[in-house]
Structure 1
Amino acid sequence: MRSYIAFSKYGSIWNPIKRVLFSTKKGSAIVTSRRTPFWYCLEPFFLRVYSMWKIMCFLNLKPHKHISLHQILQNNVDDYHGVKISDPYHWLEDPDSEETKMFVEQQNKLTMPFLEQCAVKEQFHQRLTELYNYPKYSCPYKRGKRYFYFHNEGLQNQDALYVQDSLNSPASVFFDPNTLSEDGTVALKTDGMCTETTTNLNQKLYYHLIGTSQSEDILVAEFPDNPKWHSSLTVSDDGRYAVLSITEGCEPVNRLWYCDLQQLPNGITGLLPWVKLVDTFEAQYTYITNEGTVFTLRTNLDAPRYRLITIDLQKPEQTHWKTLIPQHEKDVLGFVECVNQRYLLVNYVHDVKDILQLYELQSGKLIRDLPLDVGTVVGLSCKKKHPDFFYKFTSFTTPGIIYHCDLSQPDPEPTIFRQVEVKGINPSDYQTTQVFYPSKDGTKIPMFLVHARGIERDGSHPVFLYGYGGFENSIQPYYNTAYLLFIRHLGGILAVANIRGGGEYGQTWHKAGTLGNKQNCFDDFQCAAEYLIQEGYTTASQIAINGASNGGLLVAACVNQCPELFGCAVAEVGVMDMLKFHKFTIGHAWTTDYGCADDPGQFKWLIKYSPLHNLPQTPRDGTPYPAMLLLTADHDDRVVPLHTLKYVATLQHGVGRSPGQTQLLLVRVDTRSGHGAGKPTAKAILEDTHIFSFIAQTLKLSWRE
């Protein structure tokens, strides 16, 4: 079999300049049960220049006289349990091939001029840059006698690490990653879990003594019989125990081993003698603190909304385990930290909004609630041995308030330690509400709406509808400057749908959107759009949908199923090939949420919604697709770019050449970028500018001062 790719060459390409943060009612007139059939025809594929000519005509660009035809010999057919699936763009799985590089180059030559000439691009970019230029701070954290914190003056590409002798003394730069590269593409990894050189298989854990050569590091844990195991290590508050958590995928389950370091007379000299406290993948156990041999753990064992338990290492049998704080009847137990020796800072998520409380460690008794507006705690800094703690609050309209509380004081009250205000943004101009709408099966789904205060429900407002719905991740209120610009200057409404698959209501909510229940995620998201239409906020042609990673999958699947429900779709770094995702980098870990096509039963549900495999493969009559912008990055090693590249090639070949397709189908491939975490500020600002400029252009929105 032969496949052909036709590339057009035309005039000069505009130079990109350089987005942001973050590292988820059924209408009688809307048909939500529509499913695009899936098939792959086994005939030569020709990606012709039809869609390219449409873009060039739109831009009034003049192509060169010659069009180079790059011939690709491809005859790749995969057999899934007797079902033959053609994969004509299999060659795009190799990011380093000359063919893939040429494909990416030519796609960017189509996309970037369009994005750069969008009517609101310059205004959006200038205003976003101005409003993003505000100081950003993390909570201070104490190490030894000094305090450390991360700070960005405003437009620095990466946050720098600062140090000060006391909270009131001058701070100085301890480490500035901006000095490591001119374009800011080198960033610190902030989760503290591992290094970027960690391999996806056969992970090993080493002990490194500061001041010695890496060649002298000592291997302390390995799992040769279990190459997919991943581990993270915590040292107990008293320094006595090394606590090892072992996972195999993204499901919230782990094994928990420990080693008593006091029982090593010669110190750490080799593989540690691990004691297997929990040695099954049946529940999740997170170390919180310990009092001698009594461990306090957060667990979902018999508690889908989580609880706190204690285990005495001298009596480790499960029959001796005790509940310290039982599972809440509705709210989800989030993070828990120990402070001032005898207290626990406990976070609950109530209808997607954070609650922060103080409990007594010994008894599990509630002491008091801590003040918190409607929003999210995005940072917490404390130590068991320290009497004080910091926590950082944010919301859709609040960039960040850091509170400080000293429990050694007679009447301790949290006070504002540092508050950031953004010049040009008045939070009182915006209104945030939470609604609950019915999904297809009647389940009530929460959704946040943010818009200008006092708007009319006259169906005139463009909507930016965001969703995620996966891996037990809760999408809580968070600050994003670009969202506020969309509301203020483009007259829009931000809608964040907390669909199933996330962790907003614990494991039950999560599992209702995984594996064979994944269609619930798509139904929830489509019903969010229908609700917004029925309630008079907007119309289908004014709805732009967005999601990233698992959310990119969500966007593409929903467009396949209900293209008439949306006016525009932006899918970022999406998982598009649901039959092969487990074969690349860390993809095998996602099978706990998605399933695996190697299993005959799981293949049947994956093929029903896989975005790549539910695209029309040839031009056809039918409902046209909304305008689509796909985004990926050449160095994304989590959701590798092949997902987006294969999807857009198929999309342009089939949908793009259909008679009724008038909307653009584009892909933007960022260079020297990954999955999103650590993205330089300049690149983040430009990416958001391109996204919202694309939305404004395709929805025909004009700039408002």
Structure 2
Amino acid sequence: MKTVQKHNYSLTPKHDLCQESFFGKNITDPYRWLEQHYSHRTHQFISYQMKQTQQFLSCCPYQEDFRNYLQSLCNFDWYSYSLIRGANYFYCFKPLHLKTIVLEVIQYRMKCPQVILDPTCIGLEQLERIMAFNISDCGTYLCYEIWNHHNDQYKLYFKNLKMDIQLSDCIKLPNKSSMTWSKDNKGLYYIHCIPLHSMEDQMNNLIENYIVSINYHKLGEMNQTNDLVVWSCEMPEKNLMFCELDETGRYILVTLLNDQGSQNKLIFGYVNHERVKIKGRLKMLPIVDEFDAKYKFIGSTSTEFYIMTNLSAPFNKIIKVNIKDPDWSNWEDLIPHNPLRKLEYATCIDRKYLALSCIENVRLFRKSQPMELNDKEYDIKQVFYQSKDSTTIPMFIFHRKNITLNGRNPCKLSTFGGFGYINQPYYSASELLFVEKFNGIYALANIRGGGEFGEEWHKSGSDVYKSTAIDDLLAAAEYLIQQKYTNPDNLILQGNENGGLLAASCANKKPNLFKAIILDNPLTDMLRYYKYSSTGRWMSEYGNLYYENVFNELFSYSPVHNVPNLSMTKSYYPSVLILSDLQTANVEYIHSLKLLATLQNELHNNGCTFEQTNITLGWFKTEGQHKIDKVTSICSFIQMILSIDWRKKHS
């Protein structure tokens, strides 16, 4: 296998005395000091990694070509779907000449839209972001949520859209909240969390419980302490809750999710604003009072709730629940489970109709495409391959039609493979650049752990079966090589978050199968993932390591604990690019730091008799950088590793 170049790294300090014992095994954690987010040493480590990465990528002669081409592929006005509130249509809009998204409104049958919320015009501080918004049913009032990354605090602000006036109301929150306007448009429900433990207990990683309440804020109320507590309960920190009203405003429904969000409880209370003046706590009744499946409120009539669930229905179904007697024994199927069609989404229209969105095997009826692209030059197809246990796995493959399957093509394999998420083909400027300008092949594997074939497909690649997802991904790589799409010298494995975890685990298991791996905000320390604020709620996906069988599974694939000994394997480890967001990623950048330190010390600085020459780099998104900077860095890394020329035309 070809190598890139010899690269020396500064030795990252190891604290070998930092150990934990699990079921008789002492596990060393030499880089735990990198978990100290704001320490000077951690920031020094990050600065050093960025310097090394920039030095390497600066040698790519095509960086500006990449940037310009990516900008041309993204050179269009972007619109979200519209919300109808009153006589107005509201939508998010990103003009091609701006880097921020604004909220606009356009009146029915009018042509001139009006900007009602622009992040650049409301005096945001450097580390503040607009996270969410909600518009009252009448279209008059706007509530928007601002998050401050520096202190991790949230605030709700209000605006009268009809008069174009910023209201004085302000709600301060320690956690992200859901927002639901009352049907009389006079106030708003929101979620408020109060920790039960002291900050010292939190720092000692004790299990944190919260008093979580639904509060009602009446517009014009200046003192937040006067907001009414409608309902409250005690919940673990890593569980989430949100509330919503039915279409009539008679009932408030509360969804309480488990630590992963894969299952939930559902309760409701009577809150008719037209007849009842809210004075305090409401009586809440359970529809579902245990975590046994997923339940999503769809709509209601005067006597029934409609709920979508995967209870005994891997592809989902819709049930009717009698409001006066919601016990499960009285539930009836409205849309029964169909094993040939997955019900993805449903909504109630005018309390008379249900609109359903389903996934099933179909034939193409009609298509549309961007004018700038000639789809006749490309081929996208779905193939099926056998995994280690002979399970058939689907995979999408995208490339130019004139490509020759000679076993030497640049190829990028990607997946997510977790949380029941469904991987489907989508428009991507970065993958189009790879296919168009590198004459590459892009493959998207629908491995177990995803939701392509319902909840059973998800469960078979999660928790104690996560290694199954790794086997599926390795089998995808082997299929691409066997079918002459590529070879190990030209195969790049890429994944983000859970996909990054799987990609790193694959590289540890079979390093000679890949030329490089690209890990975007990956999970890497699976013995401590649950202790980090952003990933701690994912225990239902990865398991509780205080059960021995779960610990054995996690320890068997945890990337930082399974970097191979090259002196024994006599093979090169792939080149590595680890990308992480220091501010807003779903996965704490601690994971990226620990894997970087482990790889650089174990592969390059450990006196290994089998010299590793492939490079290991870390790229960190900081304030002022944009997605195009990240994608340009990825393209530059691929070009340098595979030594590909920029191709303006193809024969």
User: Smaller-chain TM-score range?
Assistant: 0.7 to 0.9
* 1:669-680 to 2 correspondences below 5 Å: 669-672=620-623
The corresponding residue for 2:240 is 230
Matching residue's letter, 1:221? W
* 1:487-636 to 2 correspondences below 5 Å: 487-616=435-564, 622-636=570-584
Structure 1 spans left out of the alignment, 5+ residues = 1-50, 58-66, 356-370, 375-396, 399-420, 673-679
**How far has the Cα of 1:435 moved from its partner?**
1.1
The corresponding residue for 1:694 is 637
Contact 1:312 1:321 in 2 (8 A): yes
Q: For residues 533 and 178 of structure 1, what CA distance do their matches in structure 2 show?
A: 49
**How far has the Cα of 1:438 moved from its partner?**
1.1
Q: 1:190 to 1:225 in 2, by over 3 A?
A: closer
The corresponding residue for 1:210 is 219
Matching residue's letter, 1:124? F
Q: 1:75 to 1:271 in 2, by over 3 A?
A: farther
Matching residue's letter, 1:92? L
The corresponding residue for 1:315 is 325
Q: 1:226 to 1:559 in 2, by over 3 A?
A: closer
Secondary structure in 1 aligned to 2:282? coil
* 1:653-668 to 2 correspondences below 5 Å: 653-657=601-605, 658=608, 659-668=610-619
The corresponding residue for 1:293 is 303
Counterpart among 81, 95, 102 of residue 160 in structure 1 = 102
The corresponding residue for 2:164 is none
Matching residue's letter, 1:83? K
Is 1:92 aligned to residue 34 of structure 2? Answer: yes
Q: For residues 463 and 52 of structure 1, what CA distance do their matches in structure 2 show?
A: 18
**How far has the Cα of 1:567 moved from its partner?**
1.1
**How far has the Cα of 1:468 moved from its partner?**
0.6
**How far has the Cα of 1:622 moved from its partner?**
2.2
Q: 1:163 to 1:284 in 2, by over 3 A?
A: same
Secondary structure in 2 aligned to 1:482? helix
Secondary structure in 1 aligned to 2:500? helix
Secondary structure in 2 aligned to 1:262? coil
TM-score under structure 1 length normalisation: 0.77
Q: For residues 114 and 183 of structure 1, what CA distance do their matches in structure 2 show?
A: 33
Contact 1:132 1:155 in 2 (8 A): no
Q: 1:668 to 1:372 in 2, by over 3 A?
A: farther
Matching residue's letter, 1:125? R
Contact 1:251 1:593 in 2 (8 A): no
Q: For residues 587 and 669 of structure 1, what CA distance do their matches in structure 2 show?
A: 19
* 1:274-289 to 2 correspondences below 5 Å: 274-289=284-299
**How far has the Cα of 1:535 moved from its partner?**
1.4
The corresponding residue for 2:346 is 336
Q: For residues 558 and 645 of structure 2, what CA distance do their matches in structure 1 show?
A: 35
**How far has the Cα of 1:340 moved from its partner?**
4.3
Secondary structure in 2 aligned to 1:685? helix
**How far has the Cα of 1:514 moved from its partner?**
0.6
**How far has the Cα of 1:194 moved from its partner?**
8.2
Secondary structure in 2 aligned to 1:689? helix
Q: 1:614 to 1:194 in 2, by over 3 A?
A: farther
* 1:262-281 to 2 correspondences below 5 Å: 262=272, 267-281=277-291
**How far has the Cα of 1:80 moved from its partner?**
1.3
Counterpart among 383, 390, 401 of residue 453 in structure 1 = 401
Contact 1:116 1:690 in 2 (8 A): no
Contact 1:473 1:504 in 2 (8 A): yes
Matching residue's letter, 2:113? A
**How far has the Cα of 1:505 moved from its partner?**
0.9
CA RMSD of aligned residues (A): 2.8
Identity of aligned residues (%): 32
Q: For residues 562 and 462 of structure 1, what CA distance do their matches in structure 2 show?
A: 19
Q: For residues 508 and 70 of structure 1, what CA distance do their matches in structure 2 show?
A: 43
Q: 1:248 to 1:147 in 2, by over 3 A?
A: same
**How far has the Cα of 1:639 moved from its partner?**
1.4
Counterpart among 88, 96, 101 of residue 43 in structure 2 = 101
Secondary structure in 2 aligned to 1:79? strand
**How far has the Cα of 1:654 moved from its partner?**
0.8
Is 1:125 aligned to residue 76 of structure 2? Answer: no
Q: For residues 121 and 83 of structure 1, what CA distance do their matches in structure 2 show?
A: 47
The corresponding residue for 2:379 is 431
Q: For residues 102 and 215 of structure 2, what CA distance do their matches in structure 1 show?
A: 28
Secondary structure in 1 aligned to 2:55? helix
Q: 1:211 to 1:76 in 2, by over 3 A?
A: same
- Measured against aligned partners, the alpha-carbon deviations of 1:197-253 in whole angstroms (never above 9, x if no partner) come to 416852433222233233432222332265543211111011111111101222521
- Measured against aligned partners, the alpha-carbon deviations of 1:14-42 in whole angstroms (never above 9, x if no partner) come to xxxxxxxxxxxxxxxxxxxxxxxxxxxxx
Is 1:253 aligned to residue 205 of structure 2? Answer: no
Secondary structure in 1 aligned to 2:58? helix
**How far has the Cα of 1:662 moved from its partner?**
1.4
Matching residue's letter, 1:427? D
Matching residue's letter, 2:388? K
Q: For residues 140 and 345 of structure 1, what CA distance do their matches in structure 2 show?
A: 17
Matching residue's letter, 1:504? E
**How far has the Cα of 1:531 moved from its partner?**
1.1
Q: For residues 235 and 485 of structure 2, what CA distance do their matches in structure 1 show?
A: 56
Contact 1:619 1:655 in 2 (8 A): no
**How far has the Cα of 1:553 moved from its partner?**
0.4
Q: For residues 452 and 654 of structure 1, what CA distance do their matches in structure 2 show?
A: 39
Q: For residues 510 and 470 of structure 2, what CA distance do their matches in structure 1 show?
A: 10
